[in-house]
Chain A
Amino acid sequence: MLARRLLLYIVTAWVAITANFLLPRMMPGNPIQTLIGKITNTVTPEEIRAIRLSFGLGFHQGLVAQYFTYLTQLVHGNLGISITLGAPVSSILREAVPWTVGLIGLSTIFSFAIGTFGGALLGWTRGSRLDSLIPTATFFQAVPYFFLATVMLLLFGSDLHWFPVLGAYSPTVTQGWNLAYIESVIRYGELPLIAIVLSSLAGWMLGMRNMMITMIGEDFVLMAVAKGLPRRKVIWHAARNAILPSIANLSLAIGLVVSGALLVELVFNYPGVGDLLLQAVLNEDYPLIQGIFLVITLAVLAANFLADIVYLWLDPRTRTVAAV
């Protein structure tokens, strides 16, 4: 059952990798030409050949041979060399991915946890004064994110100095596993995190609240009351079922964590994948674009696989379907 799904994911990953290989080769333009175009001096054919060779493009291979070379390199973790940065793509990604996963991942988890918990509570106490939280949360989601983030940055960062701004850590501390650095990373992450949570809370909250209201109308919740269970257990009966659609949405959200929130990283000058992707696209840095796409694709697949497993565990009804 699980093995079948795993197989499906492996096939999907292979298709994605192949597309990732083919797409840039089908696009017009040539990264070497772009690079040469940037060089103001005259370029001799020998120099062009040297450039091609240094990026591993000097060998004239057929498409199929190129494909197998690509796959072999991939297995060895070699994603090529970034044209603009001149460093191996894999090491560039190794630098950028943790920042994005840390910031966006944590924000998503916080947003999900707070929104779902709040939504369950709002659903249970529907019609009470707590309902006024909904328009407040919806407001923050409706405001364009870069506007909200910029206002927060200016107000709480530049003016009030409650939070440090620009970058992911203080430039005065040394990077590494020391307390000062970790503390600085946390401090610098706070404001972007709050901004993301604020702007994405409403979705989780409304979804959970509405499911909760639906569940409260179900017979098994009435039964929980009839059984004389304490209120928190009755709420648990409803929430345990209401959370299922939110879990499905969470898997989609987690998949997108790696792609980064471009706007967040731009506004807060955060060194993540989103920022990197923008630079790569602007400079037509194909190896880097390819590398980033690959990581995003694999992350989405991995997140979905994980969500599938969690969902199987949470909802026993999904376990029997595939057995047919």
Chain B
Amino acid sequence: MIADPLKTQATSKMMDMQLREVAPASAHHEFVLEVNNFNVDYGVGENMVRAVNDVTLKLRRSQVLGVAGESGSGKSTLVYAMTRLLRAPGVISGGDVTLNITNDGDSDEVTPINLVTASEKELRQIRWSHVSIVLQSALNALNPVLRVGREFHEVLKTHRRELTKSQRHARSVELLKMVGLNEDRLARFPHELSGGQRQRIMIALALALDPELVIMDEPTTALDVVTQREIINELNELRSRYGFALIFITHDLSLLIELADEIVVMYAGAIIERAGASELYEAPRHPYTLGLINSFPPMHGDRRELTGIPGSPPDLAELPEGCSFAPRCPYAMARCLHEAPALLNIGDSDRSVACWLHTGDSSVTVPVELSRSSSPSRAHVTVLQDHT
């Protein structure tokens, strides 16, 4: 935990009063977030489009979950809806999201909060103290007319009311140091900073209240590869030091390998593959995952021909019958065009995939590139060496 005087009695008492009444403490401490059969629609009635379809996932404490997929795959919609930040016409149409928040200083006791049913007041208390978010464009995420320091003060003032002005300043300086920035940045306006500095500030801001869960929506997409690299390394370091759980959304699978413990791949609003990060990267099972991997150059290792995925993401309003990826899939079989595959575990392994190639049907020949066995990830080894 961040050594701080910040999570003090006053706040914890406030949380106790406000949140304990909602649900009694229970023993869900293994997972920080549980999402069950979650559906999100855009619009209602005839023009309704399902953007997130029956998503179920669990995130352990201090784990990094990578969410990958093309634009329009529903990955951002999923996290915004989960945190109740989705704007109209987005509507949560089913399922529930449980955030198990720890009470201060006592990691054995957690309070489950159903984010789908939480009131505005409850949400305001949970937001940023327990779940914070980093957006793709830090330039847009910072108010252009405010000095950077104002953003820190505002968050600390709202959620840590007992802090004095000088304590807030000290904390802001400490946070900037965590991401390798000098305290003089606090007096700057967003437009006076570089893209990398802005994103570092967003990350520092996200960690200001020591949340259990940080959500990052393509935080490095707008940055050049060198800065991207630095930020990923810093994130790895911060995470091992402070132990927050992280949901990292990106379309760049090779980036996720560096950071994530587990990766889910989304397509047309549904999870189509879920596996440990290196397993998924070394031995993809879904043809779409393989396509994504072949669309980005690897951060480490040999050069590889980039092939990409033919076609474009489907129109969610007119999803094809059967598997939604079938029209673009080089391995599509007759069955794929009529029946949608469910997300099922492969054999007795911990990973799952939604593809007819992997249902154990002996009459189906699994292509060799989709049946590789995974080896210990070289990428992970390299990352560790970077820090020693």
Are A and B co-members of a single complex? yes
* Contact, CB under 8 Å: B127 / A226: yes
Measured between C-beta atoms, what is the minimum distance from B127 to chain A in Å? 3
> Judging by beta carbons under 8 Å apart, are B144 and A317 in contact?
yes
By the criterion CB–CB under 8 Å, are B158 and A228 in contact? yes
Interface of chain A: mostly helix, strand, loop or mixed: helix
Whole-angstrom distance from the CB of B90 to the nearest CB of chain A? 12
Choose among B123, B132, B143, B158 the residue that contacts A241 (Cβ–Cβ < 8 A): B143
Q: How big is the A interface, by class?
A: 20 to 34
Q: Does A130 contact B (CB under 8 A)?
A: no
Known: A226-B128, A228-B129. A220 touches B159 (CB 8 A): no
Residues of A within 8 A of B137 (CB): 219
* CB closest chain-B residue, reference A315: B145
Q: A227-B127, A227-B158 are in contact. Are A320 and B145 (CB under 8 A)?
A: no
Known contacts A228-B159, A229-B158: A223-B133 contact under CB 8 Å: yes
Q: Is A187 close to B, CB under 8 A?
A: no
The B-contacting residues of A in range 173-232, CB under 8 angstroms, are 218-220, 222-230
> Which residues of B sit under 8 angstroms from A225, Cβ to Cβ?
85, 127
In the assembled complex, A5 has its CB within 8 A of some CB on chain B:
no
Assembly CA distance A223 to B139 (angstroms): 12
Given contacts A229-B154, A233-B154, A315-B145, contact A220 B140 (CB under 8 A): yes
A315 to B143, CA, bound (A): 11
Instruction: Knowing A223-B133, A317-B191, A320-B192, say if A228 contacts B123 (CB, 8 Å).
Output: yes
Q: Which residues of B contact A316 (CB under 8 A)?
A: 144-145, 147, 189, 191
A240 at the interface (CB under 8 A from B): yes
Q: A218-B140, A220-B142, A220-B143 are contacts. A226–B125 as well, Cβ < 8 Å?
A: no
Q: How far is the CA of A314 from the CA of B154 in the complex (A)?
A: 18
Question: A317 — which chain B residues lie within 8 A by C-beta?
Answer: 144-145, 189, 191
Min distance, Cβ B6 to any Cβ of chain A, angstroms: 15
Question: Which residues of A sit under 8 angstroms from B128, Cβ to Cβ?
Answer: 226-228
Beta-carbon nearest neighbor of A224 in chain B: B143
Q: Is the CB of B154 within 8 A of A240?
A: no
Asked whether, in the complex, the Cβ of B189 is within 8 Å of the Cβ of A228, the reply is no
The answer on a CB contact under 8 Å between A220 and B144 is yes
Residues of B close to A320: CB separation below 8 A = 191-192
By beta carbon, the residue of chain B nearest A219 is B140
Tell me the smallest distance from the CB of B111 to a CB of chain A, in Å.
16
The contact string, 1 if C-beta is below 8 Å from chain A, for chain B 232-256, is: 0000000000000000000000000
- 15 further A-B pairs in the complex, CB-CB below 8 A; given A226-B127, A230-B158, A241-B144: A219-B137, A222-B85, A223-B141, A223-B142, A225-B85, A227-B154, A227-B155, A227-B158, A228-B123, A228-B158, A230-B124, A237-B143, A314-B145, A317-B191, A320-B191
> Which 6 pairs of residues, A with B, have the shortest CB-CB distance?
A228-B127, A219-B140, A316-B189, A228-B124, A220-B143, A219-B141
Question: What residues make up the interface of A, taking CB atoms closer than 8 Å to B?
Answer: 218-220, 222-230, 233, 237, 240-241, 244, 314-317, 320
Q: List 28 A-B contacts (CB under 8 A).
A: A219-B135, A219-B137, A219-B140, A220-B141, A220-B142, A222-B85, A223-B133, A223-B135, A223-B142, A224-B143, A225-B85, A226-B85, A227-B128, A228-B124, A228-B127, A228-B128, A230-B124, A233-B158, A237-B143, A240-B145, A240-B146, A241-B144, A241-B145, A315-B144, A316-B189, A317-B145, A317-B189, A320-B192
